[in-house]
Amino acid sequence: MAASKTGTGLLPRSQMPLKTLMIAMTIMCYLASLSIGALVLINQAVDKWSSDIAGEITIQIRQLDGKDIEERVSKAKTLLDQVKGVTKVEVLDKTAGAKLLEPWLGKSNIISELPIPRLLAVTINRASPPDFGLLEKQLQQAVKGASLDTHRRWQAELTRMGTSLKWLGYSVLMLIVLSAIALVIYASRSALEANRHTVEVLHFVGATDPYIARQVQWQFLLAGLKSGIAGMAMGVLTFLILGLSTATAASSGFVEASYSLLLGAPEVNYISYMLFFLIPLVATLICLIAARLAIMRILQNAI
Amino acid sequence: MNENKTVVRLENVGLRYGRGHEVLKDINLQLDAGSFQFLTGPSGAGKTSLLRLLFLSLKPTRGLINMFGQDVASIPPAKMPFIRRRIGVVFQDFRLLDHLTTFQNIALPLRVAGQKEKQYRSDVMDLVSWVGLKDHANAYPPVLSGGEKQRAAIARAVITQPDLLLADEPTGNVDPDLALRLLRLFAELNKLGTTVVIATHDTNLIRNSDYNVMELANGELEYGC
Ligand SMILES: Nc1ncnc2c1ncn2[C@@H]1O[C@H](COP(=O)(O)OP(=O)(O)OP(=O)(O)O)[C@@H](O)[C@H]1O
Ligand SMILES: [Mg+2]
């Protein structure tokens, strides 16, 4: 850039408090990349959970005195088979319900004597799901003791948790940006303070404020770019290590998402990468703009 | 060319630093274009303070300052640099930049005005030679002697052929011969139209010329011969 060619060099680089700024900015960018990574992972995990859940519902049929449960189970299956949007109905055998209780009761005969409800796993066509409310009503009218568990409550709770986590993430990002701006303003102030004598002389020989600001701002821009790249690299590395070290563990949504985020599973969205690359860009812009504004302000108040 | 005959006009100017006593009281001063003035007075009389008012590094606590036909108080800050470019200043303490060479220091006013080194290199080198710093053109101020720094400071003040030259004790660190040589430089600049004000204790210098002398005493200005 032409401006930087005539501009740089009038303020000595050695007298710039840029090292401290760069360390602090690198940490800020690292924290920003962690928050962005967390945001992306939360988004992906919530997506995965909610889509899994919506793809399958469970029908529960309670034991009732004097009513044949098997008959009611087959009645429910017949009904469900005719519902549009249901692709598969699987009647889980008696032990399926019991198995769910095993961790608490242990393997014993008590289980078979308990009035354990029977379960039907219903696979839903996600493209055109049935009206769950209507389905539930029909079921309850036709089959006594039947109830439909769409996992909606779960879904709502997960979504709520995901949303608050997201807002938390955005707030953290906002705070990071604010602290970064404060840092740059502080550093600009001390840069001018350290070069007070030079700035004074430049003023006396007729340098304009924008000219003096240019001497400093390119060095801030460079500092921002460098620390942005460093912070981003550290962040990506952290997720890489996190992804690799937990990849073999049982796949929950979160770990799978973090694994795929870094190792390029097909469902990875490129926007996530774009967000990471935004960090050096934003850091550079913050350094340039905040330094410029702060310097111009200080110079105007100088005399 | 001489549409603004008065370069500087001060009316009832007073100056105090903070809550101290008034360093300058009721200064009335008019400098005509092309004039040459000495400013003397005992140490602490306020010579430097008066010059600082003239190159816009201080604001008066009262009174009016008019430079080049403009009321200084009404000049917007963004325009100040362009007024300053018409004024060359030699500081009592030189104020050279230690991280620039002698050549770069002297060329600084041209550089900040946006000129390229190609354009000014030979002019600056001529002046560097004229003040006897040719061998030190690439040296940095910390390794220069007091007199060499003084000459560099003078060269920087005159490189742009300013309309107004303010020199604060410009011969304080050089031998009498060189002092007279530097005075000749100021005289020549004056002949080309620059208004010159030299603050000095150097009675020898004043005696060797027939320019006007103003004396500051107790914060008040008296006009001598
Ligand atoms: N920045 C300042 N703050 C407070 N007082 C100051 C400041 N600069 C100068 N003074 C005071 O103002 C008075 C005039 O100082 P000034 O430097 O103008 O004198 P001078 O005539 O240039 O002296 P010298 O011949 O020693 O250079 C002195 O009493 C000095 O102590
Ligand atoms: Mg003085």
> Quick one: how far is CA B86 from the chain centroid?
11
User: Residue B153: pLDDT band by 50, 70, 90 thresholds?
Assistant: very high
Interval between CA B48 and ligand 2 midpoint (Å) = 4
Determine whether the shortest distance from the Cβ of B17 to ligand 1 is under 6 A: yes
Could you tell me which chain B residue has the CA closest to the CA of A212?
Answer: B112
Q: What is the rounded CA–CA span in Å between residue A301 and residue A22?
A: 27
Give pLDDT, residue B208.
80
Residues B179-224 pLDDT 10s: 888 898 899 999 999 999 999 988 888 888 888 899 998 888 888 6
Give pLDDT, residue B123.
95
User: Residue A75: pLDDT band by 50, 70, 90 thresholds?
Assistant: confident
Higher-scoring residue by pLDDT: B9, A138: B9
Residues A271-303 pLDDT 10s: 677 888 899 999 999 999 999 999 999 998 775
ipTM: 0.91
- Mean pLDDT computed over B111-125: 95
Interface of B with A in 152-181 (CB under 8 A): 156
Q: How far is A19 from chain B (nearest CA, A)?
A: 20
Best of A6, A196, A205 to substitute, by most chain B Cβ atoms within 10 angstroms, is A205
Give the DSSP letter string of chain B.
--S--EEEEEEEEEEESTTS-EEEEEEEEEEETT-EEEEE--TTSSHHHHHHHHTTSS--SEEEEEETTEEGGGS-GGGHHHHHTTEEEE-TT----TTS-HHHHHHHHHHHTT--HHHHHHHHHHHHHHTT-GGGTTS-GGGS-HHHHHHHHHHHHHTT--SEEEEESTTTTS-HHHHHHHHHHHHHHHHTT-EEEEE---HHHHHTS--EEEEEETTEEEE--
Residues A166-223 pLDDT 10s: 899 999 999 999 999 999 999 999 999 989 999 999 999 999 999 999 988 888 999 9
Domain boundaries, chain B: 1-86+162-173+183-225, 94-161
Interval between CA A186 and ligand 2 midpoint (Å) = 35
Determine whether the shortest distance from the Cβ of B44 to ligand 1 is under 6 A: yes
On the CB side of B223, how many CA atoms lie within 13 Å of its CA?
A: 8
Residues B78-102 pLDDT 10s: 899 999 999 999 999 999 999 999 9
CATH code 3.10.20.30 for B1-86+162-173+183-225: no
Cβ <8 Å between B97 and A201: yes
What is the DSSP code (8-state) at residue A93? P
Cβ <8 Å between B78 and A6: no
Give pLDDT, residue A225.
96
Give the DSSP letter string of A135-187.
HHHHHHHHSTTEEEE-SHHHHHHHHHHHHHHHHHHHHHHHHHHHHHHHHHHHH
Strand partners, A180: none
Residue A49 has pLDDT above 70, yes or no: no
Q: How far is B207 from chain A (nearest CA, A)?
A: 31
Determine whether the shortest distance from the Cβ of B63 to ligand 1 is under 6 A: no
Count of residues making up chain B: 225
